[in-house]
Structure 1
Amino acid sequence: MSNLARELEQQQKEQQMQDIQKQKRAVKKSWLTPGEKFLSLAFAGLVCLGAVQMISNQAKIYKVNEDIQKVQSSINDQQKVNGDLKVQVSKLSNYNRIADKAKKMGLELNENNVKVVQSK
């Protein structure tokens, strides 16, 4: 009978151990509460949204800078053309050239009808 008592005692110990293990498993909690999980998820979402917004703004700034450089390039080209045209105007408005063209067309220079105009 002592063998039977030992078996019974051993079975009771095993059941107690199993109950304790079940209790330990049931007591085991997460280190973050659901509210903390939600807040951390919301914070991570905001960080990601902010990063996407920053990258988007940088892309827009890059595009605007590219457009500005293109406009500046076209302005420089137009300034060169304008400079060349000013040189042509100064060459074509030379007094000797105008006088030669006038003589070829049959015009004569009358000193009494000449008025001097000064440009500013």
Structure 2
Amino acid sequence: MNDAAVKVAREQRHPAAPPSPKTRRKQRFRLSLAEKMLFVLFFLFVFYAAVHIVSNQVRIYELNKGVQKLEASIDEQKKENNDLYVEVQRLSAYERILQKAKELGLSLNENHVKVVQE
């Protein structure tokens, strides 16, 4: 069969639809002024909430950074205090005090020793 015969056979099986007398126009979806205002207010609220959340997170980050700096300085001060305590213990040892007293020309006389109780 040639191409023309095939086309005619197809058209006979599926006749072309007659054009419809009604032409439908697409209806445009229109929003009223109140609805537009609601959408604008909603998006402004969402924007405000997003900015507020981000600013709170920034403040929290800065506060945490400050807390960490304070904790680091506290730890450093504790180490220094501990080192000074160890030095006080070393310097206040009885043997060291006796040695310093002898170096300065002092002597231990047990008759002149007074015991002080706390």
TM-score normalised by length of structure 1: 0.70
Pairing of 1:18-57 with structure 2 (within 5 A):
30-57=29-56
Which 4+ residue blocks in structure 1 deviate beyond 6 angstroms?
A: none
TM-score normalised by length of structure 2: 0.71
Q: Distance in 2 between matches of 1:97 and 1:57?
A: 59
Show CA shifts across 1:49-104 (max 9, x none).
Answer: 01100110011001100110011011101101110111111001000110110011
Flag the 1:51–1:38 CA change in 2: closer, same or farther, 3 A: same
In the alignment, structure 1 segments of 5+ residues that lack a partner are 1-23
Could you say what the CA RMSD is over the residues aligned between the two structures, in angstroms?
Answer: 2.1
- Relative to its length, the structure with more helix (as a share) is 1
Q: Distance in 2 between matches of 1:42 and 1:118?
A: 79
1:95 corresponds to which letter in structure 2? Y
Percent sequence identity over aligned pairs: 47
Pairing of 1:72-91 with structure 2 (within 5 A):
72-91=71-90
SS of residue paired to 1:96: helix
Post-superposition offset of 1:117: 4.2
How many residue pairs get matched?
Answer: 95
Flag the 1:70–1:118 CA change in 2: closer, same or farther, 3 A: farther
In the alignment, structure 2 segments of 5+ residues that lack a partner are 1-24
What is the aligned partner in structure 2 of residue 94 from structure 1? Answer: 93
